[in-house]
């Protein structure tokens, strides 16, 4: 063989990457890595396909790079775009704690809520050599984000999706049951005039909470515990500002509601702020309840009755699940509602129990004979 031919052959061999092998074998780069590193968590068919592609392309792994990657640990991506700083801060605490426990790096990438920005954010993560991605809300339900990640063949765990697809890996609570429980509580207190502030319409969890609220009302109507008066509804977007806008409309109504159920704590806190601005006493004149049990729920006055969604725990378990998928290991956590995984390696869904948290913002409705605390509505 001539010298130019040998140089050309060496150049081709050196230019082959793990992504080229993955593309030829029809698998993900992480699967190629598992085969090259001798992992037992790969089917025989997949192993043979990867080995054939390695031979055909004459792929030679960069041992120095593999050693460095092993020392540093895998890089996991976390794509975020949540408008609630309280939710995001708790999520990051749980994710970072779990990443430290597993010895992996967590790469954070902010994503603006447009298809173009979503694709760019995912591509930045992929270019940073992440081997899996966690998607908290609302990005857990972004079709643009999911399509881009599917194209990159990266394992993904979604968090807090209200109605996740059966084939996805996810960690969530039962939003429907939680909202049903909270609404029953308000009805049991004796409230007849209830109002509800919906969550952002781009999240199925918002719809599940709304469904739980209406199901409890219908249940009480059938039992003739409340009148068949339609509840007052306002659209929110999980932000404090949207909660203020909704509260102003609800409290200006005649008759005004005696209890307001907001779909998250930020919006519930805004309702309390607007009630105070109007001179109303919470809970004597108005009961206010929320959802999530973020930090604001226990730092406002009065402290907020709410549904506890264990955000930090959910983030940590999402990291646990993703690490198991990336490393091809069984997932050790006991799932409340496991769904069969590919190759039987890990449950694909994790349903975390929620908790009802009773504090000072809820009480029985004020008797009609007792005047309002505030001078104005």
Whether residue 150 sits in one domain with residue 118: yes
Closest of 44, 40, 106 to residue 73, by C-alpha: 106
Which tops the pLDDT comparison, 331 or 45?
Answer: 45
Measured between alpha carbons, how far is 271 from 278 in angstroms, rounded to an integer?
Answer: 11
Q: Closest Cα partner for 136 from 159, 168, 119? A: 159
Query: Are 250 and 262 within 8 A, CB to CB?
Result: no
Token pair recorded at residue 351: 């349903």
End-of-domain residue from the set 68, 102, 119: 68
DSSP helix/strand/coil, 226: coil
Is residue 242 one of the residues assigned to a domain?
yes
**Per the domain annotation, does 103 fall within a domain?**
yes
Domain membership flag for residue 366: no
Quick one: 44 and 138 in the same domain?
no
What is the per-residue pLDDT for 307?
Answer: 98
- CA distances to 78, 109, 169, 226, 347 from 322, in Å: 11, 17, 8, 46, 11
Residue 136 has pLDDT above 50, yes or no: yes
Residues 170 and 180 in one domain: no
Whether residue 327 sits in one domain with residue 271: no
The answer on 179 and 150 residing in a single domain is: no
| pLDDT tens digits, one per residue of 62-100 | 543 443 344 446 889 999 887 677 788 889 999 999 998
- Closest residue by Cα to residue 113 from 81, 90, 74: 81
More confident position, 13 or 252: 252
Residue 154 falls within a domain, yes or no? Answer: yes
User: What CATH number has the domain bearing residue 205?
Assistant: 3.40.50.2300
Domain co-membership, 208 together with 282 = yes
**Count of the separate structural domains present in the chain:** 3
How far is CA 48 from its chain centroid?
37
Domain assignment of residue 362, yes or no:
no
Say if CB 79 and CB 140 are below 8 A apart: no
- Does residue 44 lie in a domain region? yes
Q: What is the DSSP letter of 139?
A: G
CA–CA distance, 193 with 191 (Å, rounded to integer): 6
Regarding whether 179 and 301 lie in a shared domain, the answer is yes
Q: Give the whole-angstrom CA distance, residue 82 versus residue 300.
A: 21
CA 21 from centroid of its chain's CA atoms: 33
Instruction: Give yes or no for a contact between 351 and 161, defined as CB atoms under 8 angstroms apart.
Output: no
First to last CA, the chain: 92
Segment among 21-30, 59-68, 250-259 with least mean pLDDT:
59-68
Tokens of 230: 């339609």
The per-residue pLDDT for range 260-271, each reduced to its tens digit, is 999 999 999 999
pTM: 0.74
Q: Which domain, by its residues, includes 163?
A: 74-174+310-354
257 and 321 in a common domain: no
Q: Are residues 180 and 304 in the same domain?
A: yes
Q: By three-state DSSP, how is residue 160 classified?
A: coil
Q: Rounded to whole angstroms, how far apart are CA atoms 108 and 92?
A: 9
The chain-wide mean pLDDT, for the chain, equals 82
Structural domain contains residue 188: yes
- Are residues 209 and 297 located together in one domain of the fold? yes
Domain boundary among 256, 282, 309: 309
Instruction: Provide the sign of the torsion angle of the four alpha carbons 57, 60, 61, 65, taken in this order.
Output: negative
Q: With pLDDT > 90 as the criterion, what percentage of the chain qualifies?
A: 45
* pLDDT per residue as tens digits for the range 198-244: 999 989 999 999 999 999 999 999 988 887 667 899 999 999 999 99
Instruction: Say yes or no: 169 and 96 in one domain.
Output: yes
Who wins on pLDDT, 167 or 317? 317
Residues 156-178: tens digit of each pLDDT: 999 998 888 777 889 999 999 99
Q: Tens digits of per-residue pLDDT, 188-203?
A: 999 999 999 999 998 9
Burial class (CB in 10 A: 0-12, 13-18, 19+), 214: middle
The reply to whether 95 and 119 lie within a common domain is yes
Tokens, residue 28: 């993900």
Assigned domain for 28 exists = yes
Residues 6+ apart with CB under 8 A from 63: none
């Amino acid at each position: 063989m001539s010298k130019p031919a040998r140089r050309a052959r060496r150049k081709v061999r050196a230019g082959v990457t793990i992504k080229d092998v993955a593309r030829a074998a029809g698998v993900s780069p992480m699967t190629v890595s598992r085969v090259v590193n001798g992992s037992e968590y790969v089917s025989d068919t997949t192993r043979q396909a990867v080995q054939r592609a390695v031979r055909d392309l004459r792929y030679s792994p960069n041992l120095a790079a593999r050693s460095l990657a092993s020392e540093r640990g895998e890089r996991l991506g976390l794509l975020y775009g949540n408008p609630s700083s309280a939710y995001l801060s708790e999520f990051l605490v749980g994710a970072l704690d779990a990443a430290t426990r597993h010895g992996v790096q967590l790469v954070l990438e902010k994503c603006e809520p447009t298809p173009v920005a979503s694709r760019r954010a995912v591509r930045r993560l992929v270019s940073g050599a992440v081997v899996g991605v966690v998607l908290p809300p609302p990005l857990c339900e972004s079709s643009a984000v999911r399509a881009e990640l599917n194209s990159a063949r990266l394992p993904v765990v979604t968090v807090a999706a209200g109605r996740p697809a059966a084939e996805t890996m996810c960690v969530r609570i039962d939003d429907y049951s939680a909202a049903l429980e909270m609404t029953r509580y308000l009805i049991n207190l004796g409230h007849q005039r209830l109002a509800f502030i919906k969550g952002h319409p781009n999240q199925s969890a918002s719809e599940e909470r709304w469904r739980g609220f209406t199901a409890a009302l219908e249940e009480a109507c059938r039992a003739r515990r409340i009148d068949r008066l339609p509840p007052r509804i306002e659209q929110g977007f999980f932000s404090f500002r949207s909660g203020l806008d909704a509260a102003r409309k609800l409290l200006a109504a005649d008759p005004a509601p005696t209890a307001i159920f907001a779909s998250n704590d930020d919006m519930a806190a805004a309702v309390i702020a607007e009630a105070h601005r109007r001179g109303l006493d919470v809970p004597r004149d108005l009961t206010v309840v929320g959802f999530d049990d973020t930090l604001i729920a226990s730092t406002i006055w009065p402290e907020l009755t709410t549904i506890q969604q264990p955000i930090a725990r959910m983030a940590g378990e999402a990291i646990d699940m993703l690490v198991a998928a990336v490393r091809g290991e069984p997932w050790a956590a006991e799932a409340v509602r496991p769904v069969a995984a590919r190759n039987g390696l890990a449950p694909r869904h994790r349903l975390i129990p929620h908790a009802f948290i009773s504090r000072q913002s809820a009480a029985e409705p004020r008797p009609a004979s007792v005047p309002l605390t505030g001078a104005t509505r």
